Amino acid sequence: MTTRTIDVAGLSELVDHLWALGYEVWGPQIDNGVIVPGVLPSVRDLPLGWTDEQEPAHYRTLRRGDGARFGYAVGPRSYKELLHPPEQQVWSMTRDDEGELTVTMTEPEPVRRAFFGVRPCELAAIGRQDRVLTDGPHPDPVYGTNRAEVLIVTVDCGDPAATCFCPSLGTGPRSGPGYDLAITELADADLSGRDSRYVVRVGSPKGQVILDAVPSHPTPPHELAAADAVVAAATDTMTRNLDTDRIKVLIYDNLDGPQWDRVAERCLACGNCTFVCPTCFCTNLEDVTNLAGDETTRWRVWDTCFSTEFSHLGPGPVRDSTASRYRQWFSHKLAGWIDQFGESGCVGCGRCITWCPVGIDITTELAVMRAGEEAVR
């Protein structure tokens, strides 16, 4: 499809145009010391000149020294919060004096949103959740309604974090399919960022119409080459690797191995990895009753497989050890998901590594498993 270049004024007009079309535009901004999606009134609200520094259990925002508006990786929050909300009322039910029950289902409230500045791994994560929450025989009405008319503008990654490993999963640093528009930033060396250029690829007819509405020019060959170089350089900086070769068999063969107890010596079972993960979808159903006892509401809230309650059955939890709960998360994400939904549950965003308070690294744990198996051979 079409590739065009826009300048800063064009980028600004693009955001304004989305608002004018009736979209609630969300994009990255600094909030409480982290770069996360928020309502984006204009291009001026992007984190111009900021980056992040990430390591296992470490995250800092820092000044970059150039005029990049997208010179950082992903923060702890993802677009999952908008599509698959942390708290959602499912229904309310009343009981009258005779004990009769009346059920009122909570209709999801549709909002038309544009996600602006979505990272390729985030786009892949949305695809993963699409598969889980809407492709089955019983689509989730909340996710389906939130997702239906989302417009997605991605930005290829130019400065991945040290915890990133998207090339291992084939999800980045260049945007894969599913976007309406995909941007590669050619950042101005000057702090003002006023001469930054944005190479825009069109991914859908809707994206084409929107791009046509803002001033652009044909992308000259040197800008195309520069855009490719941004992605190539980003790929080169990512040294973490998750080796997916025979990964399902490897993990299934090691479900009974000694490794889980060793991870459990460090794992706090806090669930941070599941809450920051952009694909983790598990929810708990909670009934809240009013003081009069005549009305109860059911809430669906994010849950974590690291809680003891998660696997609760009559006789008690199935997974009563931290080792068994870490195994559930790891083996579901990297193996069971493939059987259940036809693809990996991991997109290589590295959030679970950065936000683990003790720095447990999913790529290291897999490598340890692989090394252990090779040592046995």
Partner 1 sequence: MTVAATKTSTLAASKTAIDPLLIPRPYRVVDKVAEVADITSLHVVPVNGGPLPSFRPAQVGMIGAFGVGEAAISISSAVTCTDHHAYTIRRAGPISGALVDTPIGGVVTVRGPFGQPWPLDDVTSGTLLIIGGGLGIAPLRAAIEEAVERMAPERRVVIVYGAKRPDLLLYGADLDRWSDTGTEVALIVDDVGDEGDWTGPVGVVPDLLGSPDGVNLDWSDTTAFVCGPDVMMHFSRIALEQLGVPADRIWFTLERNMQCGNALCGHCQLGPFIVCRDGPVVRSDRIARFHSIRDL
Q: Restricting to residues 93-132, name those near partner 1 by CB under 8 A.
A: 93, 95, 99-103, 105, 107-108, 110-113, 132
- Do residues 66 and 189 lie in contact, with contact meaning Cβ atoms separated by under 8 Å? yes
Q: Where does this chain touch partner 1 (CB under 8 A) — which range of 60-68, 226-234, 279-287, 369-377?
A: 279-287
By C-alpha distance, which of 300, 269, 28, 18 is closest to 143? 300
Given 189, 285, 358, 371, the residue binding partner 1 (CB under 8 A): 285
DSSP 111-154: --EEEEEE-HHHHHHHHHHHHHHHSSSS--HHHHHHHTT-EEEE
Given 217, 249, 252, 268, the residue binding partner 1 (CB under 8 A): 252
- Do residues 276 and 360 lie in contact, with contact meaning Cβ atoms separated by under 8 Å? no
Pairing of strands 58-63, 50-55: antiparallel
By C-beta, is 256 or 265 nearer to partner 1? 256
By C-beta, is 141 or 178 nearer to partner 1? 141
The per-residue b/e assignment along 172-211, b for 16 or more CB within 10 angstroms, e otherwise, is bbbbbebbbbbbbbbbbeeeebeebbbbbbbbbeebbebb
- The DSSP secondary-structure symbol of 310 reads G
Binding mask 66-85 for partner 1 (x = CB under 8 A): -----------x---x----
Q: Where does this chain touch partner 1 (CB under 8 A) — which range of 175-183, 197-205, 239-247, 304-312?
A: 304-312
By C-beta, is 48 or 166 nearer to partner 1? 48
Kindly state whether residue 339 participates in binding partner 1, applying the rule CB under 8 A: yes
Question: CA Rg, the chain, in Å?
Answer: 22
Given 221, 258, 314, 342, the residue binding partner 1 (CB under 8 A): 314
By C-beta, is 148 or 358 nearer to partner 1? 148
Binding mask 169-208 for partner 1 (x = CB under 8 A): ----------------------------------------
Q: Where does this chain touch partner 1 (CB under 8 A) — which range of 66-74, 167-175, 190-198, 305-313?
A: 305-313
Minimum distance from residue 301 beta carbon to partner 1 (Å)? 10
- Do residues 27 and 48 lie in contact, with contact meaning Cβ atoms separated by under 8 Å? no
In the region spanning residues 347 to 376, those forming contacts with partner 1, defined by CB under 8 A, are none
By C-beta, is 107 or 374 nearer to partner 1? 107
Q: How far is 361 from 241, CA to CA, in rounded Å? A: 11
Q: Where does this chain touch partner 1 (CB under 8 A) — which range of 56-64, 66-74, 120-128, 324-332?
A: 324-332
Q: How far is 119 from 154, CA to CA, in rounded Å? A: 6
| Residue keyed to tokens 């399919």 | 177
Kindly state whether residue 319 participates in binding partner 1, applying the rule CB under 8 A: yes
- Do residues 164 and 240 lie in contact, with contact meaning Cβ atoms separated by under 8 Å? yes
By C-beta, is 179 or 337 nearer to partner 1? 337
Pairing of strands 316-317, 312-313: antiparallel
Q: How far is 187 from 191, CA to CA, in rounded Å? A: 10
Given 61, 296, 308, 364, the residue binding partner 1 (CB under 8 A): 296
End-to-end CA distance of the chain, in Å?
Answer: 49
